[in-house]
Each structure stands twice: as structure tokens, then as C-alpha cells.
Amino acid sequence: MHTLSNTNARTGTERFVRDWTSTLKVHWLMSLALLWLGLAQAQSSGPIHATTTITASTPKAPGLMAELPGVNLWYTDTGGTSNSNVLILLHPNTGSSEVWALQSEVFSKAGYRVIAFDRRGWGKSTAKTPADNGAQSIAQDLEALVQYLKIERFHLLGIAGGGFAAVDYAAWKPERLKSLIVGGSTAQLSEPSMKETVQRIEIPGIRKLPSYFREIGPSYRTREPEGTRAWIEIEERSQQANTKSQALRTPNTFDKIKTIKSPTLVIAGGADLLAPPALMRMWVKYLDHPQWVVLPEAGHALSWEEPELFDQAVLDFLKTH
């Protein structure tokens, strides 16, 4: 049997240690270079997430009550009588107009008169009689409000369940809209293909989970525990007892969406469990040349989770319309 002499063994060991040490030095230098590059990029581009959370010190737009058919409708208005640059916000099924505090401030500073209202039975808006509970559509309440405020044309933004109503209104009153913005929404399509897809992809039992698990993305819950608690507090006080949901004025269908000709921006959340981008594209493709934006880490509550990215996408779109 051939054996390696002590001298050869020592030489081989020394060569191995020398080569291994050289390799470590190369990796160490490469790591330093990558670290330096990462720090330089971070300093030049700023933080990836600079989420702002609504707190007690967040400015609140003045709240007012409009006595409309069947409802005392609570709304906030950033002020001014100018109707040339009005942006109206429709809140999701979870939450109320309170969720728009940051957007109201940002969009107001950008020159828009921002109005947000609580749908009947949510927040401070109350049905006038038991028969008015859930009666009329959100779109019809919106139309009653703009008539009350003497607003001729405006931009409309709806998130999640607010997106259902925004689509409903856009098809009904196209002459009113300067533009339409929908975020994180399935548009409540009555199409069989949409219903089948929702049933096929939805996590079993997700509707029975606490709302913040299904609505708020894991990235936001990880980095913003205070913001998560603030969202939960608003959601817990948003819907009044025994409130009935308002049906759409007419069912949302693919053919109905084809009639919408307003300039449209659609924003999706990459981590949205209820309205993932691929599901939203099933109805968005029927719009007339929509603009499309995806916020990669945002869940269903995308305007709350990524306000800077969301607000910038909206403002960039509004500047051209």
C-alpha cells in the first residue's frame, strides 16, 4: 500500500491551509465591498420602508354632518369652496373614514380638496329609520352628498369594499368623474369565473380569522406593531351594531366595467390575501387603458400599510388628469 511520507503530508497540509486562508480573504474582501455598496445605496435612496402611522397628533380634517335621504352622513372635508380639484375617498368594509387621515393631509397639501365619508351604519353615519338600515347603495349616498355639496366633477378613490362602490358609481355617473382610482379590490364581480376563482384560491376559513390577519400583510405587522394596533382600534369601533351592508346599485359585471371610460389607476398589494394582483387583473383587463401599480409587500390594507408609496402613486396619476 502506498503511504504519504511525513514531509509530503506536512507540505500538503500547509498548502491546504494557505489556499483556504486565501479563499477566506477573498470572501472577506467581497463581503466588505458588498456591505459598503449596500450602505451607499441606502444613504442615497433612503429607507425601503418609511411608514407613517396615524397617531393622536395626526391632523384631522373637520367633521360635518349632511342630512341626506335616509341617512345622516358624517363626512370630513379639508376645506375650501373650490370644486375644481376635489378628491373623494371611499373607505373599505373594515374601518371608516378615520383610515384616511394620512391621505387627507397629504393630498390636501398637494392642492386637493379631500372629502371622505362614513357609509351609513359605519363610523358616525346613521340610518334615519330602521327601514333605511342598509337601504340605498353607497353610490347613491355618494351622489346625494356631491349634490348636497354642489360638486360637479371630482376624482374618486375607493379601497377594497370602497372599490366595489367606486366601480358601481363610475359606470353610473361617468359625467361626474375626472378620474377613478381603485386599490386592493375584487370589484365584487358577479361573474361566475370570478366567483369560481375566489372559491378556488381563498384560504379555507380565512373569513373567520381576526380581521387584521386577513387584511394586514405580514411585513407591516412585523415592522409596525403600533400601526397594527391603531388599525385594529379603528376597525373595532367602525361598524355599528346590527348594521346591514349596502348592496350595489346594479351588479358589477365585465360588461359594466367595459362602459367605464374615465382615466383609471388600479393599485394592487403583492401580499394581498383577498385581492391578489392576478385576481384583480381578471376584471382590470376590461377597463379602457388603466394604469397599473403593485406595492410588493402590501396586504389588503395597502393605503394604510404603505402610505408613502400609495400616496405617491395616486399623486403621480392625478397630476396628469
Within this chain, do residues 281 and 172 fall inside the same structural domain, yes or no?
Answer: yes
Q: Are 75 and 117 in contact (CB under 8 A)?
A: yes
Q: Is residue 213 part of a domain?
A: yes
Instruction: Specify whether 20 is located in the same domain as 113.
Output: no
> According to the model, what pLDDT value does residue 60 have?
72
Q: State phi, psi for 311 to the nearest 5 degrees.
A: -65, -40
Asked whether residue 98 falls in the same domain as residue 150, the answer is yes
Instruction: CATH number of the domain at 116, please.
Output: 3.40.50.1820
Which element (helix H / strand E) includes 29? helix 6-45
54 in any annotated domain: no
Predicted local confidence at residue 62, as pLDDT: 78
Q: Is residue 58 part of a domain?
A: no
127 with 33, same domain: the answer is no
Do 183 and 160 contact (CB within 8 A), yes or no?
Answer: yes
53 domain-assigned? no
Q: pLDDT at position 5, please?
A: 40
23 lies in the same domain as 72: no
CA–CA separation, 223 and 51 (whole Å): 9
Q: What is the C-alpha end-to-end distance of the chain, expressed in Å? A: 86
Give the pLDDT confidence score for residue 59 in this predicted structure. Answer: 66
23 and 113 both lie in a single domain: no
Domain membership flag for residue 10? yes
Number of domains in the chain: 2
pLDDT for position 61? 76
257 and 141 in a single domain? The answer is yes
| Domain membership flag for residue 55 | no
Domain of residue 118, residue span: 63-319
Residue 145 sits in the same domain as residue 18 = no
Residue 24 sits in the same domain as residue 117: no
Q: Are residues 24 and 71 in the same domain?
A: no
Q: Are residues 19 and 72 in the same domain?
A: no
3-class SS of residue 93: coil
Grid cell, residue 162, equals 370602497
Q: Which of 107, 160, 123 is closest to 301 using CA atoms? A: 160
Is residue 314 situated within a structural domain? yes
The CA distance from 111 to 85, in Å, is: 7
Low-confidence ranges of the chain (pLDDT < 70): 1-59, 81
Tell me: do 218 and 296 sit in the same domain: yes
Q: Please state the pTM of the whole predicted model.
A: 0.83
Look at residue 57 and tell me if it is in a domain. no
Count CB neighbours of 110 within 10 A: 15
Backbone angles phi, psi at 85, to 5 degrees: -140, 65
